Amino acid sequence: MGNIFVKSVVLALLIASVFSCSSQRSVRQTRGQESQTQAVAPLIKIDGTLKTMGRTETLPNGNVALISAASMAEFSFSQKETFEIDLKTLDAKYSYVSIELDGNYAGRKRINASNTALSFAFADADRLHHVKIYKATEAATGNVEIIVPKNWQLVRTSAAGFAGKKIEFIGNSITSGMGNDLQISCDGNEEWFDQHNAYFSYATQLANELGVDFQLSSVSGIGMYRNWNDEHELEPIMPEVYENLYLNRDKSKPYDFNFKPDIISICIGTNDLSLGDGQKKRLPFNAEKFVNNYVEFIKMLYRHNPHTQIVLLNSPMLTGENRKILDNCLDAVKDTFTADNTHKAILIFHFSDKIVPHGCDYHPDIKDNTQMKNELLPLFINLLK
């Protein structure tokens, strides 16, 4: 595959940047041709650190696997010509990452199973430039592996905003950012994750505006006691996958819980209340099962994070009677912990009726996610203060 040059990003300091994506083979061939006519521009400076955030895994070969939606790696560099870093997908034909250059969004890029080189070029090579690579898709699409240059150090990020505060967002497709990026149309001929951009999830937008460390523990279609089109017969529910690193049934790789969130936001219930595809048998919603599973799930969260503040969100995808049912269930969950003086009081947040999803399959699009972020922002600012 030949080089694909993506539009330049004009930075605040009028730095022209160019982002390109090409197969590793063609990049190496190009390098070889250039070396016959001129020397490769020397590297001026690399900070030598690859920082990670979210659910990630350092692989035996030293590379980093981005697992969950919006899991992220970041680094800084300065170079006269072009700097490249290689990525590939694991266990998938392709996946997507979203790129941020010096604080500016630079697009969502398709990453293939064969090595894909991400190239960065800046006109200004006299200072360090900052790159963030977010996994735009979620755990179920397979990992994105970052091929870490030798001698680079792997460290966890540290937020510059609210004094290193941390937020975890637990949820389903809404939190994952599924169906929000409409650059690829929803015509039924695409893969289910082709419009997936976790960078523009309300959760990612909120965390980045607040300047906090964060992670998304979210799975499309998942529920508390049943899933979108499954009565908990074939597919696992959130309480069964959350404690596993890969958000699946694989208990051989448990989540280490080293990320200690000051706030845990939970947005689950849409799929429990859904009618599925309308073809597979669907039982009436069982409020008792939903509430009981939700309560036990929160107890598990408290065992790992006893000092966290839990915030329960309702769903912008539910309207009318279903929204009332979910709101009543969330009230019942909160009431269960009313007499609990060992933890912070649980809060409930209700999205306004002004949010009407415009994305694929009635999911919030990017603008809808921004509106969700804006509605949540005052509450989270007050909690972090």
**pLDDT tens per residue, range 343-357:** 999 999 999 999 999
Question: Residue 154's pLDDT is what?
Answer: 87
**Torsion over CA: 368, 301, 142, 46 (sign):** positive
- Using pLDDT thresholds of 50, 70 and 90, give the confidence band for residue 260: very high
* Inter-residue contact 274 to 220 (CB < 8 Å): no
Question: Residue 38's pLDDT is what?
Answer: 32
**Torsion over CA: 28, 34, 36, 38 (sign):** negative
Write the CB contacts of 100 (distance below 8 Å, at least 6 apart in sequence).
106, 131, 132, 134, 199
In this prediction, residues 234-248 reach a mean pLDDT of 98
Q: What is the mean pLDDT of the chain?
A: 86
Q: How far apart are CA 198 and CA 172, in angstroms?
A: 12
- Using pLDDT thresholds of 50, 70 and 90, give the confidence band for residue 262: very high
Rounded to whole angstroms, what are the CA distances from 187 to 140, 192, 227, 252, 276?
Answer: 22, 11, 24, 39, 20
DSSP state of 93: S
Residue 1 clears pLDDT 80, i.e. is over it: no
Question: Residue 115's pLDDT is what?
Answer: 80
Distance between terminal CA atoms of the chain?
50
Residue 91 clears pLDDT 90, i.e. is over it: no
- Using pLDDT thresholds of 50, 70 and 90, give the confidence band for residue 93: confident
Q: What percent of the chain has pLDDT over 70?
A: 84
Identify how many contiguous H helices and E strands the chain contains and give both numbers: 7, 19
Write the CB contacts of 188 (distance below 8 Å, at least 6 apart in sequence).
none
In this prediction, residues 113-134 reach a mean pLDDT of 81
Q: How far apart are CA 112 and CA 135, in angstroms?
A: 13
Q: What is the pTM of this model?
A: 0.88
- Using pLDDT thresholds of 50, 70 and 90, give the confidence band for residue 13: very low
Cα 288 to chain centroid distance, Å, stands at 31
* Inter-residue contact 173 to 196 (CB < 8 Å): no
Q: What are φ and ψ of residue 206, in 5° steps?
A: -65, -50
Q: Convert the pLDDT of each residue in 170-221 to its tens digit.
A: 999 999 999 999 999 998 888 999 999 999 999 999 999 999 999 999 999 9
Write the CB contacts of 321 (distance below 8 Å, at least 6 apart in sequence).
none
Set out the domains of the chain in order of their start, with CATH numbers.
4-33+41-156 (2.60.120.260), 166-384 (3.40.50.1110)
Residue 382, token pair as written in the block: 């007050």
